[in-house]
Amino acid sequence: MTRLRSLLSFKLAALHLTASMGRLALTIVAVAVGVSLVVAVQLMNGGVLASFLDTVDGLAGRAGLTIGAGAGFTFSEHVVDRVAGVPGVRLAVPLVRSVAFPDDASGELLTVLGVDLANEAAVRVYHDGDRPEEVVDDLLGFLGQPDSIIVGRQWASSHGLSVGDQAVLVTPTGRRAFTVRGIVEPRGLAATLAGRVVVMDLYAAQRAFTADGQISQIDLVLDPAADMDRVRGAVAAVLPPGLVVDEPAVRRDVI
């Protein structure tokens, strides 16, 4: 009798399972889809965050702090020596930042970046790709000719420009002709701006967009273990009146 009851119980359970097979399958599928969705969302969030931070780094470079005098104002490059010795500052990079437009009535805005191309460490703050001497055939010749520029491949292609061609740009100081002596794959800042960036040597950019010895900003790369607030205070203490040190605006605002 006990064995018969066990068989009947097993049979009833099997019948119940068979009758509910469709609902069981739907439940399993629903759980699997739910788990897959959670994993997909986590992977997507990680990818979006990584892309977002790449964009921030592209716009702001890898600088932890930036020194400036306000939009459109310049200051002496001698300030670089003052801040380079502040504890916690690994690298102080002087920059000339300006804008220009192609002389073709397109109204396309170009970001001009003047950086010391002879200083590879300074260049890598904004571009983590090829070294300057790998982008141009003759780096010394590039530095010795003040009309030399490097442009992004995407922008050069869209305007039919090759190495050796002239690009006429409308600058804040007037219409000027520059010679393309290097074309680079857009990475970092250039990629963020869809290749619409013009790179010049710092001293040539000073002559074309500011004045000899004048720069637009200083970007500071900090030691990994440095306390940003402490370094900011120490840097501010050695700056002349009118200059402000802060996190790069785009990094501060979006993060």
pLDDT score of 66: 87
Distance CA 120, CA 122 (A): 5
pTM: 0.66
Residues of the chain with pLDDT under 50: 4, 52-53, 55-56, 59, 254-255
Q: CA angle at residue 253 from 114 to 46, to 5 degrees? A: 100
pLDDT score of 157: 87
pLDDT score of 96: 92
Identify the CA nearest to 62 among candidates 214, 224, 196, 206.
224
pLDDT score of 226: 86
pLDDT score of 77: 93
